[in-house]
Amino acid sequence: MNIEEEIQSSIRSLELDATEDNVGIAAEDAKEELASVDKEDAGKSSTGGQILFLSGQVDDRTIQKYEKEAKDKSRESWYMAYIMDTNEEERVKGKTVEVGRAHFETENTRFTILDAPGHKSYVPNMISGASQADVGVLVISARKGEFETGYERGGQTREHVLLAKTLGVSKLLVVVNKMDDPTVGWSKERYDEIESKMLPFLKSSGYNVKKDVQFLPMSGLIGTNIKTRVDRSVCPWWDGPCLFEVLDTIEIPLRDPKGPFRMPILDKFKDMGTVVMGKIESGSVREGDSLLVMPNKVQVKVLSVHCDENKVRGAGPGENVWIKLSGIEEEDILSGFVLSSVEKPVGVVSEFDAQLQIIELLDNAIFTAGYKAVLHIHSVVEECEIVKLLQQIDPKTKKPMKKKVLFVKNGAIVVCRVQVNHLICIEKFSEFPQLGRFTLRTEGKTVAVGKVAGLLPSGTTGA
């Protein structure tokens, strides 16, 4: 068996037989925080906790401990969320702040849950979670008033759908949660109402609603329709699959295990050496490999590779891993750096050309040369400036318009030159989509989404 076969064998043994992709689930809250703290959110973290409990990742004793802790805080219904929301701030406020990470297995596939924050104050953290995911689970509350709060103009449901699509989450599972709530009572009318309102918006956000979107009724708090199908006596109108069945049948886009190695670094820590964490977007890695940490071009050696706390011989694209390195100190690595192959390193630039779609500018803002925003691309967060508008794209023909463009408004598609303060690692969208799609945010709001069209050598400004 050659080393490539050993790597693939190692990956399969961890992920079972159904897929060679590790599927991240970036599940977003579907509403803004309501005024009263007694109002629950969409139930995303509770659903994540139930998934781990029903798949045998959490035992009854731990659940009993969390039930007591939640009761002591007068938040009895939050105990399942404590499995995913582990820090005290999250448990007191009842909302996710950081990206929770956990693993579970269905009959055929191994999954990584990325429990991303839903509240608008933590959207940058949500972007970090969603950028690692292949499948998005959008958790929506069916409770009267809560769906409307998230879906109305300014609600978080809309922004999260848009961000998920921009960040490369190509498959979306819309979970209509809290179907057991007294205001809902497993009502088909309420479920149909939510689906009919969501479908046009999902379509306008770029999703193929027939191929890439699926709806599912559920109760995350009591675990109904998660591991096994909901009983017909509870919900007589639903004859579709449960959550685990849907996840097992979703087709994940294939990545190239033989391509140049690319792993955006999400986090780093010291553990008898320097350890970096991230998701492999292209290529494969094994013990003994020589790689580059970019953009500072430091050559490193792979001492070990770990998946789900287990040491493995190697890992391939789609895997969330942590890798121990020699040849670099932990303080010399920043989130947003990229672990890259030596033969074909990742692109490093301070300027690039991009095609942008303007979503919604702040009041009185004009998108023109000199416009400043915060750029989010894979694990990079950098201040940027639009230095030049190159051409406007006709939204109907998708072709460049002849007239010179000085500024654009909401809804416009424009090709422009973007400048950042520090060197960043990115790729052209056409070559590496995962490292070539981005969002621009200003004052806590997503104002544009885009893709990298061309890389400019550092110091080049162009005509």
Residue 130, φ and ψ in degrees, nearest 5: -65, -30
Q: Give the pLDDT score at 417.
A: 97
Residue 63: its pLDDT value, please? 61
- Asked if residue 361 and residue 331 are part of one domain, the reply reads no
Q: Quick one: pLDDT at residue 375?
A: 94
121 and 186 in a common domain: yes
Q: Secondary structure of 25-78 in the HEC alphabet? A: EEEECCCCCCCCCCCCCCCHHHHHHHHHHHCCCCCHHHHHHHHHHHHHCCCHHH
330, 378: one domain: no
Identify the CATH number of the domain in which residue 440 sits: 2.40.30.10
Instruction: Tell me the average pLDDT of the chain.
Output: 79
Q: Is residue 10 part of a domain?
A: no
pLDDT over 70 (residue 87): no
Between residues 17 and 387, the one the model is more confident about: 387
Res. 76 pLDDT band, cuts 50 70 90: low
Residue 146 in domain: yes
Q: How far is CA 162 from its chain centroid?
A: 11
Which amino acid does the sequence have at 106?
T
Average pLDDT over residues 440-453: 89
Report d(CA 211, CA 61) in Å as an integer.
41
Task: Look at the block and give the residue holding tokens 């179907």.
Answer: 179
The pLDDT assigned to 155 comes to 64
Give the residue, 212 or 205, on which the prediction is more confident.
Answer: 212
pLDDT for 122 beyond 50 = no
391 vs 22, which has greater pLDDT?
391
Please provide the DSSP assignment of 88-133 as one string: HHHHHHTS--S-EEEEEE-SS-EEEEEE---SGGGHHHHHHHHTT-
> Does one domain contain both 39 and 157?
yes
Residue 81 has pLDDT above 50, yes or no: yes
Both tokens of 429, joined, read 């969208």
State which of 341, 374, 390 marks the end of a domain.
341
Q: What is the spatial distance between Cα 401 and Cα 194, in angstroms, rounded to a whole number?
A: 39
Q: For residues 236 and 306, state if they share a domain.
A: no
- Output 125 or 236, whichever has higher pLDDT: 236
Residue-range definition of the domain harbouring residue 178:
22-249
Q: What is the pLDDT of residue 452?
A: 96
Q: What percent of the chain has pLDDT over 90?
A: 41
Higher pLDDT, 437 or 418: 418
Q: What is the pLDDT of residue 2?
A: 40
Same-domain pairing of 446 and 308: no
- CATH number, residue 78: 3.40.50.300
Q: Which of 53-67, 225-239, 267-281 has the lowest mean pLDDT?
A: 53-67
Q: Does the predicted TM-score (pTM) go above 0.85?
A: no
- Look at residues 313, 341, 369 and tell me which one is the last residue of a structural domain: 341
Q: Is the pLDDT of residue 93 over 50?
A: no
Closest CA to 194 of 123, 117, 139, 126: 139
Q: In this structure, are 215 and 131 located in the same domain? A: yes
Give per-residue pLDDT as tens, 315-365.
998 888 999 999 999 999 998 999 999 999 999 999 999 999 898 888 878
- Comparing 103-107, 117-121, 400-404, the range with the smallest average pLDDT is 117-121
Question: Does 126 reside within a domain?
Answer: yes
pLDDT(51) > 70: yes
Place 303 in a pLDDT band, splitting at 50, 70 and 90: very high
Domain count, the chain: 3
Give the residue with greater pLDDT, 47 vs 129. Answer: 47
Residues 104 and 210 in one domain: yes
Residue 194 within a domain? yes
371 and 419 in a single domain? The answer is yes
pLDDT class of 378 with cuts at 50, 70, 90: confident
Q: Are 300 and 152 found together in one domain?
A: no
Task: Return the pLDDT at 66.
Answer: 63
Residue 229 has pLDDT above 70, yes or no: yes
Q: How confident is the model at residue 136 (pLDDT cuts 50, 70, 90)?
A: confident
Confidence band, pLDDT 50/70/90 cuts, at residue 181 = very high
